[in-house]
């Protein structure tokens, strides 16, 4: 058939949100082990891509443009409200430096791995490295934001999603299994016994909770749209250095900064901000999948995956170097890496395996990754673009 089956905005929104809801519902109800290896994210991207490439769902809709211009910057603001840098530093101390070393490893690793395989990849694949850097420094929200900022195509985003998940399958068990080497690692990094005792006696989190009310969602909408309005107005006046530093890039960076500033105000206490933002993030990922033309994906996928494994090794070495320089234990090092590579979904899993008392801190570290993810990923994208010439 020449015309896609679903073309109306209401139909497109139903499919995008329905795919997201379905896979999270299945994950929750079945607890299938499949989702330990293939998280809902990959299905949320792949199913709309399949629909649009088989003419079930249109690849051109006003919905897609609206999500990119309005919804994405709004959920970035809301997502960053819960970042608490002061509390993270207070509890983790030098462990924060290991996470920052891991972040540096992602940036440097992106450039080095791209340099190794760039002759085997299409010219614009540097964008996939930039997009994946967003995920590996922060999370899915950063991945989506950087994709929009550097104007990555659906195929380039899909390549990043593929690499992210194939590495995650290998890297998460390594982080979990690292607990077995705690004695050797802690002797190697010369960890002070006082730090080990401090981690064993971390006080339980006493986060204040409040019932979610209708007005809370209104607060989130107002703050989100206000920051989008301000960022759009200011970014239009900023100088461009395309293709990395465009109006879109400035918009994302400004929205990120405004979100972080709001996290230092009472706005950070608005209930359900993180959950609401993440729901929008996943619908946006489905939105990107629906626009992807996957016909040329397989040709470069193998070389990109190879680069991803080289890349994660470089990140790991940077984490170990940071742990050695700052005398940090294996538990904090594993959580720091998980906060980078896996974000808020994986950091608590690794923390609970190493030391359950560190679960609240692991979430804070993952949120810190959200805060720096866009800045670091744009730096990685710029490095890869520079090397692509």
pLDDT tens digits along 27-79: 888 888 777 667 787 788 889 988 988 889 998 888 888 887 888 888 888 98
Confidence check: pLDDT of 201 > 70: no
Q: How confident is the model at residue 348 (pLDDT cuts 50, 70, 90)?
A: confident
pTM of the predicted protein model:
0.78
Residue 184 structure tokens = 């050797």
The span from the CA of 119 to the CA of 388, in Å, is 9
pLDDT digits (tens, 9 = 90+) for 212-268: 899 999 999 999 999 999 999 998 888 877 666 778 888 888 888 898 899 889 998
Report the mean per-residue pLDDT for the chain.
85
Q: How confident is the model at residue 205 (pLDDT cuts 50, 70, 90)?
A: very low
Q: What is the pLDDT of residue 284?
A: 84
What string of DSSP letters covers 113-160?
HHHHHGGGS-GGGHHHHHHHHHHHHT-HHHHHHHHHHTT--HHHHHHH
The span from the CA of 246 to the CA of 222, in Å, is 26
């Amino acid at each position: 058939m020449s015309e896609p089956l679903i073309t109306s905005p209401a139909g497109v929104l139903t499919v995008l949100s329905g795919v997201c809801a379905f896979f999270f519902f299945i994950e929750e109800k079945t607890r299938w082990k499949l989702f330990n290896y293939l998280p809902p994210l990959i299905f949320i991207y792949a199913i709309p891509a399949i629909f649009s490439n088989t003419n079930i769902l249109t690849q051109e809709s006003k919905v897609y443009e609206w999500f990119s211009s309005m919804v994405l910057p709004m959920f970035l603001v809301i997502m960053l409200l819960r970042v608490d840098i002061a509390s993270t530093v207070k509890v983790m101390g030098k462990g924060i430096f290991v996470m920052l070393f891991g972040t540096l490893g992602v940036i440097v690793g992106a450039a080095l791995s791209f340099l190794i395989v760039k002759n085997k990849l299409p010219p614009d694949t540097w964008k996939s490295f930039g997009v994946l850097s967003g995920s590996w420094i922060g999370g899915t929200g950063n991945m989506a934001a950087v994709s929009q900022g550097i104007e990555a195509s659906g195929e380039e985003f899909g390549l990043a999603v593929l690499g992210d998940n194939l590495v995650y399958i290998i890297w998460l068990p390594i982080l979990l299994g690292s607990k077995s080497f705690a004695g050797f690692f802690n002797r190697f990094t010369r960890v002070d016994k006082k730090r080990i005792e401090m981690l064993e006696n971390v006080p339980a989190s006493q986060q204040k909770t409040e019932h979610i009310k209708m007005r809370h969602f209104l607060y989130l909408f107002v703050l989100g749209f206000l920051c989008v309005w301000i960022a759009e107005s200011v970014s239009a006046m900023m100088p461009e250095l395309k293709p990395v530093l465009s109006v879109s890039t400035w918009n994302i960076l400004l929205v990120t900064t405004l979100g972080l500033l709001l996290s230092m105000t009472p706005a950070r206490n608005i209930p359900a901000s993180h959950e609401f933002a993440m729901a929008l993030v996943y619908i946006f990922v489905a939105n990107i999948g629906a626009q992807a033309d996957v016909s040329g994906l397989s040709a470069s996928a193998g070389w990109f995956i190879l680069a991803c494994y080289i890349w994660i090794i470089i990140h790991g070495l940077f984490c170990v170097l940071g742990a050695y320089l700052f005398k940090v234990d294996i538990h904090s090092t594993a959580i720091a890496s998980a906060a980078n590579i896996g974000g808020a979904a994986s950091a608590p899993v690794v923390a609970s395996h190493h030391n359950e008392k560190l679960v609240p801190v692991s979430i804070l570290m993952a949120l810190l990754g959200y805060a720096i993810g866009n800045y670091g990923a744009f730096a990685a994208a710029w490095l890869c673009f520079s090397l692509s010439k």
